[in-house]
Structure 1
C-alpha cells in the first residue's frame, strides 16, 4: 500500500468514526424521549431486576454473538448449546424434567414417560402462535378448519394465531369479579374440531390464575391439547409460594410458554416454548426440501435471526440459577403486596379479584358514593404527572353480556421495592387529585362518531371501507394526529374511552392508522 493510499484509508476511517459518534449522539437524544426503562418508574413493558451487572452481562454476551445467524445450528453450534441449556433450565423449574423417557406412554390415561422438549422463540407472541400451530398440525385438520378455545382474558397473541392459521376463535367469558374462567364453561365451549384449549398462569389483564388442573381434566377427557400461557408468570410463580399446581405437574398440560425477557430479565425478545412429547413438538417445525435451494427446517416463524437475546438470556440464567431468580421474585413479591395494600386503602379504588404473581389490576370501587369514586384512567394520568407510568385497560363486554371493568394495570419488578415510598405517595396523591371527577370520555369528534353509530347514521362497514387518508384525517380532527403535527401529549384516557364507546372493529381500524402513521416517512 502506498503512502497516499494509507492516508486516504486513515482519512476515511476518521470520517467514519466522526459520523458514528454523531449518530450515537443523536440516538442518545432520541432515547431521552422514551419512558425510562430502569429505575421502577414504568409499571408495564419493561422488567428491571435492579442489578446493573445483569444488563452488562447480557450486553457482553450479545456482542460476542452479534454476527451469528441462528438459522443453522450446524454452522453455528454455539446457538444449539445455548438453546438446549436454556430449554433444560426452563423445563426444570416448570417440572417437566421428570418425564425423560422417549416415546409415548402405553397408558393413554397418564402423561408418564412423555419427554418435555422445546425451543427458544423471539417472544411470547411467537411462542403462542407456534403452540397453536403445533396443536393444529398434530390434529391433522385441513387448512381453514378447526377451532381454538380460550378465556376472554387470554393474551391477544392467540387471536393473532387464530387469524393467521384460519381457526375459529371461541371466547369463553370469565367471572367479572375474579377474572377467572370456569372449567365447566370451557367444557361447554369445546367442539369436535377444537385443536387446543388455552389457559393463563396468570392472565395479563387481572393477574388471575385460571383453574388449570380442572381445565386439564376437561382437556384429557376429550383428548384435546392444553396450553398454559405462562409468558408473564413462568419465571415468577415457581418461587411465589403456595399455589395450586399450574405447570407440567398437572396431567393434561401439553405445552407451556414462558418469556425470559420478562421476569428472566434478558434483552427482548426471547421466550421458551415447551411441549410434552416429541411428536407434538415436531409439529411446531416447518420444513422444505422440495426447492432448488438449501434444505429449510425452521422451529420458529423466523429463518435468519439474531441470537443476541438468546445469548443474554442464557448468560443470565447461568449466573442467577434458580436461587437467584427466587431472590428477585421475593423482592418483587414484597413490593407487590405493599402496593396492593396501598391501593386497597385508597378510597374509591379496588384491586380486581385475587391477583397471583407480581402484577395486578385496579378498578373503580363502585360500592362508594359517586363523589368518592376514582376513575382508573384519570388516575393513570394523575400518577403519570407525578413521574410514574401505569397502563390503562378499557372496559370490555363479554359474549354473555357481562362487563369487565375499565382498569389500570401495574407490573411490579424487583427494582420497584427501591422506589416504593415515592410510588406509594404518587398512587395516593394521584387518587386525591381526581377523586369524584367524571370518568374519562372520548375526544369530541370520536364521541360524535359514537353517537352516529348509536343512531344508525353510520355502520362499521362504512368506516372499514374508508381509505387510509380519510381515516388519518378523522384522527387529526379528533386531536390524534398520526403525523405528529400536534405538540400535545397523547391523552390515553381519552383514547381508551373511545375504544369503549366505539365498535371494536372501528377502533382497531383507527389505531392501526395511528400507529402506521407514526412510522410513515
Structure 2
C-alpha cells in the first residue's frame, strides 16, 4: 500500500519511480494493440509536445477568461477548428468541454432549459445511442424515450413517431460507438425540425475522422452542421484528434441555441458564478495540450492519419472475414471493427486475444443484438494490423478448444439483493480478489446472462468494491 500523505515528504525522483512502477500494471497506451480507451497516432514527438504544452498552462484557471486570456484564445481557436471541420457557419458557436459525456449533458441541458414551460421534458434517442444520453437524462431529470433501431441504424419513421409536444431534443450518432454505424442524420434532423424540436448529432466518437474519411473517398452520408435541422454537434478532441484526455467540443448552430447551456448565479455574497460548462475551475493544461496537438498535426497530418486508420480497418476486417468462428457484425466503414461469434465463444476469445497482446472490448447482448467484440482502430494499428490475422486465427482455435464458459449457478438476483458482501464473495469466487483482471471470460459470461438492471448493480457494486481505500 502506498501512503499518499507520508509523515515526511518523499524526494521527487522516488515519487516518479513509484508512479512508473504503478503504470507497469496498466494496459499499453501505445503500440497499436489496445482497441479501446486510448487513441494513438504513433506520431514521434507528439507526446513530448503535449506534455510541454500542458506544463505551460496547467496552473491557468478557465474559471475567468478575463484573468487568463490565453486560455480564451486557445478555446476559441479549438472551437473554430471544429466548426470548420463539421460544417459550421458564420453563426456557429461552441464550448470546450472535458469529454463526450459532458458535451451530451450540456446539449440536453440547453434543450431542456430552452423550454421552461414544459413540466416533464423528454429526450428521444435510438437504442444504439451512447449511454451518456441516459446519464444526461438521469442527472437532469429528463424522460428518456429509447426507440428501437432498424438493422443497426436509427429508424426515421419510428423516431419521428416518438416525438411529442414534451420532446425538447432528438439525438442520433455519427457513428454509433458500439458498431461504428452512422445514423440517417438528414432524415432524422428533418423530422425533428418539422416538429420544432432541436436535433443533436453525437459525433463525439468519430467526428474528427469522418470528414477525412470522406475526403479519402469513403461513401459516408451527411452528418454535420451543414445538414438542415442539425442544431448542435459534439466531437471529442481526445479521440481522433489525438489530443490528451480531457478535451472535447460542443458546437451549436447559433448563439441563441447555446445560451441556455450557461449557468449563472449572483444571489449570494461571493463572486457571480457564470459557467459555460459543468466545471467551474478548469485547468488550462489539457486545453493547451489539445491546441498544441492540432497545431502540430495540421489538416494534412490528420488526412494522413485517417488514411492509415482506414488501411488498418481494411486489414483487420479482412482478417475477421477470413477466420472461421467469427464474422463481421457491422460494415467496417468507419473506424470500428465489430465482430460476432460464428462458433467461437467471444468472451473466451477476448481472453485469448489478450494473452497474445490484443486487447478488445467485449459488448454484452442487448435486445436482438448478440454479444460482440468492439475494436476501435487508430492510426497506430496500421503498423500492427498484419500481425492480427494469424493471432486471431490462433486465438479462435484456442477459444474453440477451451469451449464456452459455463454460467455458474447463481440465485435469482434483483438489484436490491446486491450487497457489498455479495459483491465481495462474487469477486473472490470469480478470481478477482487479487486484482488480476487478465482472465475475464467468466465475469463477462455472468454479466451477459444478467438482465441489464442486475448487470448495472453488479458493476456498480464491483467498482465500489475496488474503490475502497485502506485507512489506517
Shared fold by TM > 0.5? yes
Whether 1:166 aligns to 2:141 is yes
Q: Distance in 1 between matches of 2:427 and 2:252?
A: 47
Post-superposition shift, 1:488? Answer: 4.6
**Partner residue, 1:383:** 353
Which string of whole-angstrom CA distances, capped at 9 and with x for unpartnered residues, describes residues 50-108 of structure 1?
Answer: 013111111110000021111111101111000000000000010103xx2xxxxxxxx
Matching residue within 157, 164, 169 for 1:184: 157
Q: Distance in 1 between matches of 2:190 and 2:332?
A: 24
Which runs of structure 2 are paired with 1:126-165 in the superposition (5 Å)? 126-141=102-117, 145-165=120-140
Q: Distance in 1 between matches of 2:229 and 2:157?
A: 16
Q: Distance in 2 between matches of 1:254 and 1:437?
A: 51
Post-superposition shift, 1:441? Answer: 4.1
Which blocks of at least 5 consecutive residues in structure 1 are unaligned? 1-14, 101-114, 366-372, 398-402, 454-459
Matching residue within 418, 424, 427 for 2:389: 424
Q: Distance in 2 between matches of 1:131 and 1:81?
A: 23
Q: Distance in 2 between matches of 1:264 and 1:497?
A: 35
Matching residue within 340, 358, 369 for 1:404: 369
After TM superposition, the score normalised by the length of structure 2 is: 0.93
Q: Distance in 2 between matches of 1:261 and 1:422?
A: 27
Which runs of structure 2 are paired with 1:276-287 in the superposition (5 Å)? 276-287=253-264
Q: Distance in 1 between matches of 2:281 and 2:40?
A: 29
**Partner residue, 1:469:** 420
**Partner residue, 1:354:** 331
State the secondary structure of the residue aligned to 1:215: helix
**Partner residue, 1:510:** 458
**Are 1:235 and 1:264, in contact at CA under 8 Å, matched by a contact in 2?**
yes
Q: Which has the larger radius of gyration?
A: 1
Q: Distance in 1 between matches of 2:37 and 2:318?
A: 23
Whether 1:226 aligns to 2:207 is no
Q: Distance in 1 between matches of 2:94 and 2:333?
A: 26
Which string of whole-angstrom CA distances, capped at 9 and with x for unpartnered residues, describes residues 330-364 of structure 1?
Answer: 00010001111110111121112223311121011
Which string of whole-angstrom CA distances, capped at 9 and with x for unpartnered residues, describes residues 120-172 of structure 1?
Answer: 000110001001000111122456x1111111111111000000011111111
Q: Distance in 1 between matches of 2:139 and 2:177?
A: 22
**Partner residue, 2:178:** 205
- Give the alignment's Cα RMSD to 1 decimal: 1.7
Q: Distance in 1 between matches of 2:416 and 2:431?
A: 18
Post-superposition shift, 1:477? Answer: 5.2
Q: Distance in 1 between matches of 2:435 and 2:38?
A: 26
Count of residue pairs brought into register by the alignment: 458
202 and 375 in structure 1: CA distance in 2 versus 1, 3 angstrom threshold: same
**Partner residue, 1:23:** 15
Q: Distance in 1 between matches of 2:442 and 2:399?
A: 15
**Partner residue, 1:448:** 410
Q: Distance in 2 between matches of 1:88 and 1:174?
A: 33
Matching residue within 242, 251, 261 for 1:265: 242
**Partner residue, 2:31:** 39
State the secondary structure of the residue aligned to 2:11: helix
Q: Distance in 1 between matches of 2:422 and 2:208?
A: 41
Which string of whole-angstrom CA distances, capped at 9 and with x for unpartnered residues, describes residues 26-63 of structure 1?
Answer: 11000000000001121111100001311111111000
Consecutive aligned runs of 4 or more in structure 1 exceeding 6 Å deviation: none
227 and 436 in structure 1: CA distance in 2 versus 1, 3 angstrom threshold: farther
**Are 1:202 and 1:233, in contact at CA under 8 Å, matched by a contact in 2?**
yes
**Partner residue, 1:249:** 226
After TM superposition, the score normalised by the length of structure 1 is: 0.85
**Are 1:475 and 1:510, in contact at CA under 8 Å, matched by a contact in 2?**
no
Q: Distance in 2 between matches of 1:141 and 1:207?
A: 37
Which blocks of at least 5 consecutive residues in structure 2 are unaligned? 1-7
**Partner residue, 1:60:** 52
214 and 35 in structure 1: CA distance in 2 versus 1, 3 angstrom threshold: same
Q: Distance in 1 between matches of 2:358 and 2:247?
A: 26
327 and 309 in structure 1: CA distance in 2 versus 1, 3 angstrom threshold: same
**Are 1:43 and 1:390, in contact at CA under 8 Å, matched by a contact in 2?**
yes
Q: Distance in 2 between matches of 1:268 and 1:249?
A: 28
Q: Distance in 2 between matches of 1:20 and 1:283?
A: 45
